[in-house]
Structure 1
Amino acid sequence: MSLFGTDGIRDVANQGPLRPATLVGIAGAFGRILREEDPEGRFKILLGEDGRESGPMIRFALSAGLMGEGIDVVHGGLMTTPALAVLTMLGRFSAGIMISASHNPYDHNGIKFFGPDGHKIPDAMEERIEEVFRQGPPPPASPLPPGKVREDHSLLESYRRYLVQKAAPDIFLGNLRIVLDCANGGASEIAPQVLKDLGVDLIVCNDKPDGTNINKKCGSLHAGLLSPLVRGEKADLGVCLDGDGDRCILLDEKGNVVDGDRILMILARHMQWKGELPGNLLVCTVMSNMGLKKAMEESEVEVEVTPVGDRSVMKAMREKGAGLGGEQSGHVIMKRGDHLLGDGLVTAIHVAQVMKETGRPLSKLVEDFQSFPQVTINVPVREKPPLEELPGVKEKVAEARERLGEDGRVLLRYSGTEKLARVMVEGTDERGIKEIAKEIADEVRKAIG
């Protein structure tokens, strides 16, 4: 079984590839690859984490593996994934490793590798890490001087300045009242600081990570739970981040949830109006609602559709020269200077700026989004063979597509981070698509559940 999924290495903490001995080996393999490229070089790697109780165990194991290969390590402390990515680039680190399982529960964790340019390492590098790891440690040779380790929590201040000066220049959000949910994760320190810097009248919740409360009935996966607070505080906007801070789901002043597709529509239209949408192009994934494509067609914005995952979106954005892309989950990527930045906080700031510049509340900015009914069923599975080749599933999918015609679609895929098959059906008849999704999910469950 491969170490890497669609977003780094992820599992339940202290199981599988996240056992300390395995992590030491993975980090050592990465260190040896760096040394192959520059045997005489001096390397420095940044580690960050999102506040899970297993974070220190993983951090120490990775540090041991890297230091054993003569690599220096800097512990940056609690931070978001986008902060780790940018700080790796700004601090001229050889690489960065984020310890996080994103939106998953606290007992899960993972590691994501970033190159010196602040982007996730390519598939070829992941394959090389796995290859070297599988080979095991090299034969004994002259021992390398061990790498050094130090903590530097001041790095987060550098990211705060970057956000205020580079990612959100000339933005002031005074007179806006915002409720911020930090998901008890990596954004708990940085997000309130930045919004206060921008003049926001701020109410903060879920900003006290204790190791076990990350994403627990809070954050972007539970945005609806913030609705009473948004309404009660008479806020203009609710902002829900996820555990590692790269996703953002919003709530309007009435407490209604605004997902990633609607956020992309708002930003694309406003950037187009200002002449700031490169190529008049938006990048989204196959999971985006057909309503987003219809809205962009009406606005004469071209849409490029990619497979699921921010890596796919970023790849297409770089290839097409796009300045905006993202996912329905709220992971929005914007071009800031020469860097593609997927930061939930930056997303929220720019939507708030649209509200300020247009003088319109969020509810008005999304009122014409015509969402097609969409149903997703997650099916726990024991293995992951090609879904549409499974007996019974292939037939049910064919029947569903014939029934839906051009007014709907069926999408089957596996989660890249969990043992789940996702069955998504979209169409015009909500009752009908629920029936179709259940029928297909039942067949998947029967075959591999």
Structure 2
Amino acid sequence: MGKYFGTDGFRGEANVTLTVEHAFKVGRFLGWYYGQEHKPRIVIGKDTRRSSYMFEYALVAGLTASGADAYLLHVTTTPSVSYVVRTDEFDCGIMISASHNPFYDNGIKVINGMGCKLEAEVEAKIEAYIDGESGELPLATKENIGRTVDYVAGRNRYIGYLISLATRSFKNYRIGLDCSNGSSSAIAKSVFDALGAKTYVINNEPNGTNINTNCGSTHIGVLQQYVKEKGLDVGFAYDGDADRCIAVDENGNVIDGDLILYVCGKYLKEQGKLKNDTIVTTVMSNLGLYKACDKAGIHYEKTAVGDKYVYENMTQNGHCLGGEQSGHIIFSKHATTGDGILTSLMIMEVLTEKKQTLGTLAGEVKIYPQLLKNVRVADKKTARENPEVQKAVDQVAEALGDEGRILVRESGTEPLIRVMVEAAEDALCEKYVDQVVDVMKAQGLVVE
């Protein structure tokens, strides 16, 4: 990770750790970087946060000052930006979003010309420019100054693309959608309506400050209750920029990214379409997923947390399905990044083809109890590498053996150490997580 760019772009509180000056400089650098041999075309999307407009205008000012033309998708999803960059041959794309974070945070995520997250070496060059380490960049003049172009047509084509992926009508399905008052509010309902579903939508009235507030994939209880109250067949919840999807089955049970990987992976294997009979997971995936995959003859690989790492593994090894427990799922046949709405459609393909409920299909996986505690620290690296902390982690790992595991890692976006334990019982999870956290406190590493 760099100074500003973490695992998911440049993220922070708007006008505190991520300012308009930062956004302007990101625009200035990208406009110059991609414009050394031709006039660059760069497409921008944003989520529904109040500050997204401010950052959009700052980025546009920087881009056009460096000579780039900025194409505006307006409020849209992160995967739609990836799709438009790829299909319309833009030099790069920018998504303004802090994903699942509170409304007062925001972020700048840069997508390269192949529709993937920007290379780390280019992010490092942007950081050097922001900090004044690489000198000033020339300003475009006269006819070389860039312009803005309304490009809502690109978002509409993405909607059409999603609709085209469905293999069957959803006519007899009652489907609930929680749009998190975010990007999917502008897209999801129209897709499911077009496919014939009886669509029930909640949290699709964004006002600039209600994105992710007690709704969406990070507050799944809202959709669970809604599905049960309405007697729906299935529900799908997205995060702020709709690159994640968490599902709810007909009984109101949560179907997280691990279960989605299993349901879709097993179906693709049965169809002979799961390349290498392998799914790609992260180190956060549940032990129960791996045991179920072993039984189903599905191989798996593990990467660091972050869908960029999942996708790198997929492309390097020719795998077609991968994702995270948090709901970032990548179907490489159709997309280069996690796409919440696309994931919903792929789940619906399994349900319609197999004529079984989501609860039945996911019920083959016995999920191990898992507890994750986020510990706020002064310095992530110091806390993680502390010898006493490492000793405590090793002791827990030895005690759990093959019937559980412990994972301690740094957050990619916040000053947190994440301590996660899986075990046969909730009480054991609590015991071993607290054992490590107590050592961190004793070492003076925790910020209360």
TM-score, normalised to structure 2's length? Answer: 0.95
Trace 1:146-225 onto structure 2 (pairs within 5 A): 146-165=145-164, 168-225=165-222
Q: Distance in 2 between matches of 1:123 and 1:424?
A: 27
Give a deviation string over 1:223-279, Cα, whole Å, max 9, x none: 122222211211100111111001111111111111111111000110001111111
1:261 equivalent in alignment to 2:262: no
1:405 equivalent in alignment to 2:401: yes
Q: CA deviation at 1:332?
A: 0.6
Matched letter for residue 27 of structure 1:
G
Aligned to 1:27: 27
1:66 equivalent in alignment to 2:85: no
User: 2:315 is paired with a residue of what secondary structure?
Assistant: helix
Would the alpha carbon gap of residues 141 and 265 (structure 1) be closer, same or farther in structure 2, given more than 3 Å must change?
A: closer
1:310 equivalent in alignment to 2:292: no
Q: Which moved more, 1:100-109 or 1:357-366?
A: 357-366
Q: Which moved more, 1:172-181 or 1:123-132?
A: 123-132
Question: Is the 1:93–1:116 Cα contact (8 Å) retained in structure 2?
Answer: yes
Q: Distance in 1 between matches of 2:398 and 2:357?
A: 41
Question: Is the 2:384–2:417 Cα contact (8 Å) retained in structure 1?
Answer: no
Aligned to 1:6: 7
Aligned to 1:367: 363
Aligned to 2:136: 138
Aligned residues: 442
1:349 equivalent in alignment to 2:345: yes
Matched letter for residue 6 of structure 1:
T
Q: Distance in 1 between matches of 2:333 and 2:317?
A: 16
Aligned to 1:50: 47
Q: Distance in 2 between matches of 1:182 and 1:102?
A: 12
Q: CA deviation at 1:147?
A: 0.7
Matched letter for residue 77 of structure 2:
T
Matched letter for residue 288 of structure 2:
G
Give a deviation string over 1:74-115, Cα, whole Å, max 9, x none: 111110000111011122211100000001110000011011
1:81 equivalent in alignment to 2:78: yes
Structure 1: segments with no counterpart, 5+ residues: none
Q: Distance in 2 between matches of 1:331 and 1:224?
A: 19
Q: Distance in 1 between matches of 2:306 and 2:268?
A: 23
Aligned to 2:430: 434
Would the alpha carbon gap of residues 404 and 189 (structure 1) be closer, same or farther in structure 2, given more than 3 Å must change?
A: same
Matched letter for residue 273 of structure 2:
E
Question: Is the 2:66–2:139 Cα contact (8 Å) retained in structure 1?
Answer: no
Q: CA deviation at 1:153?
A: 2.0
Q: CA deviation at 1:136?
A: 5.5
User: 1:215 is paired with a residue of what secondary structure?
Assistant: coil
Trace 1:96-135 onto structure 2 (pairs within 5 A): 96-134=93-131, 135=133
Structure 2: segments with no counterpart, 5+ residues: none
Q: Distance in 2 between matches of 1:434 and 1:415?
A: 20
Structure 1 runs of 4+ aligned residues shifted over 6 Å read 139-142
Pick one of 380, 383, 389 that aligns with 1:384: 380
Q: Distance in 2 between matches of 1:146 and 1:159?
A: 29
TM-score, normalised to structure 1's length? Answer: 0.95
Q: Which moved more, 1:155-164 or 1:281-290?
A: 155-164
Q: Percent identical across equivalent pairs? A: 37
Q: Distance in 1 between matches of 2:394 and 2:300?
A: 27
Q: Distance in 2 between matches of 1:140 and 1:112?
A: 24
1:290 equivalent in alignment to 2:287: yes
Q: Distance in 2 between matches of 1:388 and 1:152?
A: 45
Aligned to 2:413: 417
